[in-house]
Structure 1
Amino acid sequence: MSALTLRVAVTAFTPLAIQIGESIGYGTAVVGVFGMLPTAFFAVAGLLTPILVRRFGLEATALIAMLMAGTGSAIRAVVPDTWELLTFSALALTGMGIGNVVIPPLVKRYFPDRLALLSSVYIVMVQLGTVIPAMIAVPVAEAHGWRISLGLWALLGFAAALPWLGVLRNRRGHAKVDKTALPLLDAQPPGKPWRSPVAWGMALMFGMTSLITYSVFTWLPTILHDAGATMAYGGSMVGIFALIGLVAAFTAPTIVARVTNPFPVVIGCALCYFVGFVGLITAPMTATLVWVLLLGLGPSTFPMALTLINLRTRTAAGSASLSGFTQGVGYSVACIGPVLFGVLHTATGGWGIPFIMLTVAVFVMLAGAWHACKPRMLEDTWN
């Protein structure tokens, strides 16, 4: 349930961005700012979460994350102006970003002997939480208004908080860090992840994947609208783009767990990106579904990176440290993607140069993956 909440604030908004702007009064440039918000506040969460976990423990931090996600999603649906919409979107996204960081070490803590299976479950839920809002945002808005369409996802955040309340109630005195039963993050990890090529490789692999993904989430409806499609069609293509991620969510964790070095799979993902980029530039409305399907396969490196966080660490403390570093640095880099994509489009009047920027990001992703996929452990390289 927690994993299901981790993207809804993003893809519930994107298909409605222009409609909401017309209602409360912001222009196209602000769409790029909204596109930057997820990665920016996921980066903030990557830096903030280790502090919260050391203070409250993993389970209580997960509860805080879900309440933030629910509260931010609810309030932003009723505010009257752009700045309030930005502020409460940021609150929801920070909660979701904290959830991004704490779930991988929770998987390692409770299911160390079933990492591939539980990673698949977690990533499938993330993908469903990405797909469903994108697919239904426009129809719900047409039937009931954009505020209902945007705000109904708050219920999911509050519902996801309930199981953590149950866990913490059962633990009672162990709601904070339990040094006997839960030896995970009770002390500062002994190493420094920023000294490890494993951590930097993971951050670049994760960050470039996120940069590309959020650029596509933000601008795909506009690209297709410029080519003659309706906004509803653009929203459905965003949903399909996210839906293809389910294929990777089911398969990537198992492949990564069984293959010593999964870098060849990353090369295949890069090729999917390249063909999809060329297709959208040269013939956006000729074989749109094909281009979107290929683009949807490209971010298979996302579930690969999340699985490698646990496979390239020996301990749950190492997993939490690598998760925070990877997502903090990765999302910090990724947040420039949607804005820079829009700036380049505005400056050139076309989509070719923005897609060249994404192509460069793919090559950087390949360089990071070369290091992240090598069969070595963070704890051996971070001192």
Structure 2
Amino acid sequence: MAEQLQTIRTLVRKAKKLYLKKFHEEAKVFAYAPGRVNLIGEHTDYNGGFVMPMALPLYTVWAGKRYDGTFAEIFTNAAGVEEPTVRFGIYNLDRSGPAWSNYVKGVLSCYFGKLNAFKAVIVSTVPVGGGLSSSAALSVSTYMFLDELNGGRSELTKIEKALACKKAENIFAGAPCGIMDPFIALLGEAESVLLIDCRSLTFEPITLADPKIVVLITNCNVRHDLAGGEYDERQKECFKAAELMGKEFLRDADYMDFRELLENRFKLKAPTSLLKRARHVISEIKRTFDGARLLKNSKFEQFGRLMYESHESLRDDFEVSCPELDQLVELTRGVEGVFGSRMTGGGFGGCTVTLMYADAVDKLIKRIQKGYDGVPTFYVCKPSNGTKRLCECARVA
């Protein structure tokens, strides 16, 4: 927790300096939200299933000030590149400007409370396009910033805020994401992953506090875009498969339902791709549920095998992996101290997540650096807290 706070303090100081440089005055209002990684349960959230993410010590931070008027001005170097200041009317929102600004505008359009004009800067350590939910970190931190402009008052619970941020991404930014990302950004717990039921929106913390165990995230540095057509196509295929089985969501289907669909595929005119999508989701939900039981009992080796099975299913049945991710996962196999590895996030690039012993990290990193065809980036992480209020500037800077 202390290390997490120190990271946030460092980013707040950076944001304060940047705000002073850009707007020639002191920032008064601050907010942040973390990125996330999903240990298992991929492409199951929008199917009403289970997921098992954790919040990361990687953050998107806002620093700003409230103004009278009807305009917002935002400067960001969140993607590592300084962009021109974006200015727009808070009551006259459109989709002009850079793509990232649509996530901010979307949250303003879904915000439950008084809107205030403001100036702000955004800084971030969450890699963009890496499958670590930079979009949800931006959306949730935006919502928290709007709350802070209202003195920290909010009409919504954290789960309701997660739903508002999901709506903002779906409708305004055009990203067909599920509930997992904003949910874990708001409700993540230090030293725990969350088993989230994405239909009931209930969750169970599962302790992952063993000091010998860490999560290694490896960014293949191939970017993907969740607003792209492939992600949307996978969702539609899942919904169609559920419909053919007479289910509301694939979460309601089991192997018997899938076998019946397989037997009637020609009668129902179900293409092979649709069958493969259904098989992945049904098996992945079971893996996630089984994985929760294993983690509760510290059965890390068995959990790791489920991670490898998950990757193979995402590669072969859901077809959202890529050669770079496949290579990274293969390089972890047979390394002493590694339990399991898989791609994480929407797919088509991004990151792998590996569960392993801390004392094996250096050995694995060296192997990947030697064997991987690209230039990877590494993050060694433990579960962190979700977003909280930064009540007083003196406490964080």
Fold shared per TM-score above 0.5 = no
Structure possessing the higher radius of gyration over alpha carbons:
2
More contact order relative to length (CA 8 Å, sep ≥ 6): 1
Shorter-normalised TM range: under 0.3
Which has the larger share of strand?
Answer: 2
TM-score, normalised with respect to structure 2 = 0.25
TM-score, normalised with respect to structure 1 = 0.26
Which has the larger share of helix?
Answer: 1
